[in-house]
């Protein structure tokens, strides 16, 4: 495989699977990362259990640990480093560690706080998220505009592809949107297995508190470029903008489709999705067919490394 610039992609909540930490490959850097996580966050033996992953806070922590552990295997044990990183939602924190903006401890502390604040924001009422497949962004915007629902109760949360849009809001708002989406010709309206509503106005206080928390982080020189969730901007040599994105993106839509389309324009020829799963790599290849995408979760790390030819 002809590898130009290499990108590492980090999935967000919804990608978690039971056993994801226990199934990580046996590399020295993985063990060191898991040991460090236990020292910082406490016992993580049950963090990836079915019961534990029902909690949004636990899911976010597990995804961060998983992403950082496998990245450490690539960078420290295999000497494979990305030129660009991008994370979807909470995956951005693992991306920020890979870019040298956050330490692992700083990321763990921030993600733990983020999860707690998001839960608190959703403590009153019933909230959730759902994916609409088969309608374009303009159609979904028009559809939501026809509903007699306040924008604080229903909003666009993620633009994942040209025809997959994730919305978030109250249970009643999502129900109305689901009926309207089906009438408009959506192929699928799929509620997500989350008990929170993120990337919208409900999380404004979360964003403000995160910004205050991250304001104390030292500004470091990036080791890789970072794509923002909020505007699909490539950031290099400006750690403050990365930290701003980590804070503000919880209250703003994730522009994953734009990120994926822009990767080749910045020289990326291969994108590797860090475990778990392969959703981001498939979305990236759909958005940019010229992009080669790999997923160690599907083919294993040795096969991924062999295909990279590094």
pLDDT at position 3 is: 59
The backbone torsions φ and ψ at residue 197, rounded to the nearest 5 degrees and listed phi first, read -125, 115
Angle between helices 104-121 and 204-214 (to 10 degrees): 160
Pair (108, 252) in one structural domain: yes
How far is Cα 9 from Cα 271, in angstroms, rounded to an integer?
Answer: 7
pLDDT at position 195 is: 86
pLDDT at position 2 is: 53
Pair (98, 237) in one structural domain: yes
Contacts of 59 (CB under 8 A, 6+ apart): 13, 16, 53
Pair (38, 14) in one structural domain: yes
225, 99 Cβ separation under 8 angstroms? yes
Residue 275: CATH number of its domain: 3.40.366.10
166, 255 Cβ separation under 8 angstroms? no
pLDDT at position 309 is: 84
pLDDT at position 125 is: 83
How far is Cα 167 from Cα 175, in angstroms, rounded to an integer?
Answer: 11
Of the candidates 89, 249, 281, 295, the residue annotated as catalytic is 89
Pair (53, 116) in one structural domain: yes
Low-confidence ranges of the chain (pLDDT < 70): 1-4, 310
Overall number of domains in the chain: 2
pLDDT at position 193 is: 84
Last residue of a domain, one of 192, 222, 249: 192
Last residue of a domain, one of 175, 192, 209: 192
How far is Cα 158 from Cα 209, in angstroms, rounded to an integer?
Answer: 22
Specify which residues 97 forms β-bridges with: none
Residue 135: CATH number of its domain: 3.30.70.250
Q: Is-catalytic flag, 124?
A: no
Q: Is-catalytic flag, 285?
A: no
Q: Is the pTM of this model over 0.85?
A: yes
pLDDT at position 152 is: 86
Of the candidates 199, 213, 255, 278, the residue annotated as catalytic is 199
Q: Which domain holds residue 219?
A: 5-121+201-308
């Amino acid at each position: 495989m002809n590898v130009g610039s290499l990108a590492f992609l980090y999935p967000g909540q919804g990608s978690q699977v039971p056993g994801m930490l226990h199934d990580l490959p046996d590399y020295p850097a993985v063990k060191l990362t898991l040991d460090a996580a236990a020292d910082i966050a406490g016992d993580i033996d049950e963090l990836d259990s079915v019961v534990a992953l029902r909690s949004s806070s636990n899911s976010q922590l597990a995804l961060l640990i998983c992403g950082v552990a496998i990245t450490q295997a690539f960078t420290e044990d295999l000497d494979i480093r990305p030129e660009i990183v991008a994370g979807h939602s909470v995956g951005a924190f693992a991306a920020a560690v890979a870019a040298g903006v956050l330490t692992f401890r700083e990321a763990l502390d921030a993600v733990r706080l983020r999860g707690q604040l998001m839960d608190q924001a959703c403590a009153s009422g019933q909230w959730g998220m759902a994916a609409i497949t088969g309608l374009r962004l303009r159609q979904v915007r028009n559809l939501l505009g026809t509903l007699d629902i306040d924008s604080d109760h229903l909003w666009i949360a993620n633009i994942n592809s040209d025809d997959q849009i994730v919305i978030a809001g109250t249970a009643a708002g999502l129900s109305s949107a689901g009926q309207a989406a089906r009438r408009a010709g959506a192929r699928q309206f799929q509620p997500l297995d989350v008990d929170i509503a993120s990337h919208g106005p409900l999380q404004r206080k979360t964003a403000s508190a995160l910004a205050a928390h991250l304001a104390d982080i030292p500004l470091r020189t990036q080791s890789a470029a970072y794509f923002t969730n909020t505007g699909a901007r490539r950031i290099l040599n400006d750690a403050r903008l990365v930290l701003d994105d980590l804070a503000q993106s919880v209250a703003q839509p994730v522009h994953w489709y734009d990120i994926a389309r822009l990767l080749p324009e910045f020289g990326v020829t291969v994108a590797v999705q860090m475990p778990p799963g392969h959703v981001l790599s498939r979305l990236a290849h759909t958005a940019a067919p010229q992009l080669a995408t790999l997923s160690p979760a599907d083919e294993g790390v040795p096969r991924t490394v062999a295909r990279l030819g590094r």
